[in-house]
Structure formats: C-alpha cells, structure tokens
Structure 1
Amino acid sequence: MGREFLDLFEQWADSYDDTVIGRDQEYKEVFSGYEEILELTAFQSSGHVVEFGVGTGNLTKKLLARGLIVTGIEPSSSMREIALQKLNNQVVVLDGDFLEFPEIKNIDTFVSTYAFHHLTDDEKAFAVEKYSKLLSKGGKIVFADTMYESEEDYYHAIEKAKSEGFHNLANDLETEYYTTIPVLKDILENNGFSVSFKKCNEFVWLMEGIKR
C-alpha cells in the first residue's frame, strides 16, 4: 500500500489513536466525524471482508460488531501488534498491502479507511483491476479516504493548510497520492463497477463500488 510510506506508519502507530479523536489540531478536520465514517464503512460492508490498512484496528472492531468475517491486511508490524492487542486476537491480520497480499478466497467486500491515497493513480487502477477479478457479481469495494472533486480543489486544500500554519498536513497533501473523484470513478467503471461517492467531511469521501 505504498511501501515507501512504511516508516511513516511505524512512527505513527503509537500516536494514531490520539490523532483520530481530535487531539492533534492540525489533523482535526481530516478526522472530523471519524466514528461515523467507520460506522458507515462497516454498514456498507457484507460477508467476508478483507480490510486493507487495519492500522490500530478501529474499523475492524466495527466490522466484527456487525458479525462480519474479517481478514486484515497491514504492512506495519507496530500497527499489527496494537491491532491484535485491541482485538484480543479475534481476527487474522496478515502482512501485506493493497497490491501484494496472501491468497484469500471467497471475498465479498474489500474495505479501507484513510489509506488508499498511499497508492499512485496507476497503482490504484492496478489494485482495482485485481479486486475485480477476485469479486463475484454484487461484491463491493468500500473505501473512505481523502479525495477531491477536482484538481483545483486539491491545490486549494494545500494552500489552505499552509495559510493556517498546518505545515505537516500541507506536506502530507503534497507528498502522498491524493486523487480526484473523476479519476476514481473512471477506474471503478472501467473495471466493471457501479460507483457512488458520499461526502463525509471537508477531506474524506466514502466510495462504494459494486461489481456489475
């Protein structure tokens, strides 16, 4: 899932849960409505779920609470350790990422929150093509992530972060691979999905693709 960012995941492991509950002012809006975003992602999921970027296990808990079967994928060993402790080892969390992961059979839904932007647009397209081959008709991709309605909106977000003195956020926006809704829509539709988008906060949208 953008293995070049693995060091960042390792560094962020211990502070991630504090960040998502709003204790870091710089990222407060990014994680605004965090619990509701996780709930919505879990609600849209069904059957056997493969979760990319398990992180510290927050979405996983929501999925399990809905009675879903979950296989987790997480490249950070520190994140995996925290997640397994939090989840009392109720799920298997495998070492892998959006592009490379162990063989998993009978998948109904691919889910992820706050992670797909670690792939370039070409890598996103490759990943979705792979998921399409693994899903049957009616299977889903349910990803909540930062994305923008246009490139202009994206560049405006960078300038706004700089003007507010949020230099770490601005650097994230400039160095990670945030994309636009039209690009994602084309990727999903070109791989046999019907796709819809729901705005969750100033940064995050929920993307739901259903295999046709």
Structure 2
Amino acid sequence: MSIPEWYTGSDRSGDVAKGIEAIIAKMDEHQADHQDISRLRDLQSVETEVNWRAFLLSLIGTIHYDLKEQDKAAEALESALMDFKPYLSTFDEVLSVYCQTCYTAGVLFYEREQYAVAAPYLLRCLPYLHEVYENAYVGDIYSLLTICLNMTDEVEDALIFAEAAAFARQYDCESLENLMIAYVATGQNQKASEVFQVLSDRCRQSDNFERILDFARRELGETGVVN
C-alpha cells in the first residue's frame, strides 16, 4: 500500500495512515466511539515515531472528550501533550492535532472552572494559531484566555487578549463585554464606558444585554452609562 505524503511516522505497511484517515472521518461526523479508541490503541502498538504516537493519543483523548468522559479525556490529552517533541522534524506534520489537543485540554479545564490549569494549555496554542486556525477560531481562544486570566487575577495579561479577541471576532457582543470587564479590572473606566456605548448601540437586543447593563451601572456608575 502506498503511504500518503502527510504521514511521516514509522509504519511502512500503511495500516496506521489508513486507520487515522478512517477514524478522523468518523470524528468529523461525531460518530467515533470506544471501538475507535481500541483501534487507536492498536495503532499505537505499531507506531514507534514519538510525535505520531502522541498524535494517536491525542485522538484518543478527543474521542473521550466527545463522549463526555472527562477524566479519561484529561488523562489522555495531558499525556499526549507531555509526549510531543516540537524539536523533531515530524512535528510539522502533527502540528494541527497538537494545537487541537492544547485547545481541547484548555476547554476541558475551563469547563471545570480550573482556570489556572486551563490557561497554560491555551497559551501553548498561541505561537502556531495562524498556521492552523481561521481568524474566528483564533478569536475564540483569545476570549477563553481573557476569562481564564481574569479569573486568576492576571488582569493586565487578560486585557491584552481581550483587545485581541475583540479585533479577531470583529467586535461581537461577547468579545466587547469581555473587553469592558477587562478595562474595569485594570482601572481604565473611561475606555470601559466607551466600550459600553458601543455595546449599547450594537447589542441592545441580545439576550445578555441586561447583564451587561447591570455590570456597567455597578462598576461605572450612572455617569459612565448613557442608556
């Protein structure tokens, strides 16, 4: 069997590449299950190249996450990220899955409200974001980092990502709300008031506008809120 160009692992039989293609196709359709996890374990016993073994373990972790098996997902994803070796030439071929693994691990711990654990995983995506993700996806990662860093009182760093998220997400309501909060957290109430005015113009019909208005009144006072 011919080996596809994208696969640079150790298996010359073609079984690993074929298995990866089949399982990713099922994952894309949200149909991957425990049988696929078992198959990936079998492929791991064949694969000897370090980054491709981590690639396979990343897929295992992602399937566990999709199956709502959070503890097993966390174990597999964290182990995979420990195993990746960016200084090897094969890292380029597995980069997209590496980034997805960082993102999934970050989201998993974000959902658990373990923000201090989530943030470093999301930060590991940053150097490679524009290599593998569209701008909208980049904005989502910036937004998650904004919230995680705010929740861990790293407010100056959170502001950097809040501004970047608003830009990347084309100033949608969620990113503007996070930006307003970030300006308040860093004592920049004038900018927060100006962002609120933009929110008031653009997002008055959104489901969250009452929450936005309550925050602005509480933190900025009536002089900072022109309703």
TM-score interval, normalised by the smaller of the two chains: under 0.3
Structure with more of its chain in helix, by fraction:
2
Q: Tell me which of the two structures has the higher relative contact order, counting C-alpha pairs closer than 8 angstroms and 6 or more residues apart.
A: 1
What TM-score does the superposition give when structure 2 sets the normalisation length? Answer: 0.26
What TM-score does the superposition give when structure 1 sets the normalisation length? Answer: 0.27
